[in-house]
Amino acid sequence: MPYYYYGYGDFLANNIYVLLLIPVLILSVWAQIQVSGSFRKYSQVPNRRHLTGAQAAEAVLRAHGVYDVPIRPCRGNLTDHYDPRDNTIYLSEDVYAAPTVAAVGVACHEAGHAVQYAVGYGPIKVRNAIIPVTQIGSQLSFILLLIGLVLYSQSLFLVGILLFSLTTIFQLVTLPVEFNASHRALETIDGQGLLDGEELQGARKVLRAAALTYVAALLMSLLQLLRYVLIFLGRSGRRGGRE
């Protein structure tokens, strides 16, 4: 009865997955609420120096001796990012020209990423190096996992797990990159006096909420990886027991 022992491993893995999924989903939703809420709140708070996001990002770059990174506006909400391909910081409409606490915090965080590239920060080099294989792995992993499940092929399923694990590794490497960018931003904001005491705390709350979304993404990826591993082990154990 091969259906039984394959199905049992899937059943056990899915139950453990669902049990752990609930708190991770709650954390993910809460993180998104915190990001939106914090950004919305501190987007209504003008900073005393009337610095726009673009001006604050430029101040961070200058403080670290970086002068060749342009800062440009882009469309959308919370679409701020640093693009290493053209070495440019892109700031959303609510950040680029806004003299608010939230705008300064977000803009300085993106400038922190530009500084990371300028100084050759180790984790960001690692992340860039694994991006191509991660993209390929994420596309192929689900195909191999699905085929492995349908055809009961442990070898294909294992390859799918290994490819999917690249996505988890990418999420793991992303954490220190994001935390470090925020640390550089807040350290420079404080050192250069871009924001005052209460304003600095507001910027810290915005960046802390954003960092939490990366933690939630990593936990979700780890949980999915655990599910696949449990299915694989469950099927292998049942097959070995019958043999």
In the chain, the amino acid numbered 153 is S
Name the 3-class secondary structure at 91.
Answer: strand
Distance in angstroms (rounded) separating the CA atoms of residues 220 and 172: 11
**110 is a catalytic site residue:** yes
Distance in angstroms (rounded) separating the CA atoms of residues 112 and 81: 10
Which residues 6+ apart lie within 8 Å of 187 measured at CB? none
Which residues 6+ apart lie within 8 Å of 64 measured at CB? 115, 118, 119, 184, 188
From the list 110, 178, 199, 243, the catalytic residue is: 110
Which residues 6+ apart lie within 8 Å of 105 measured at CB? 42, 185, 186, 189, 202, 203, 204, 206, 207
Distance in angstroms (rounded) separating the CA atoms of residues 144 and 128: 25
- Dmax over CA atoms of the chain, in Å, equals 74
Q: Which residues are catalytic?
A: 110
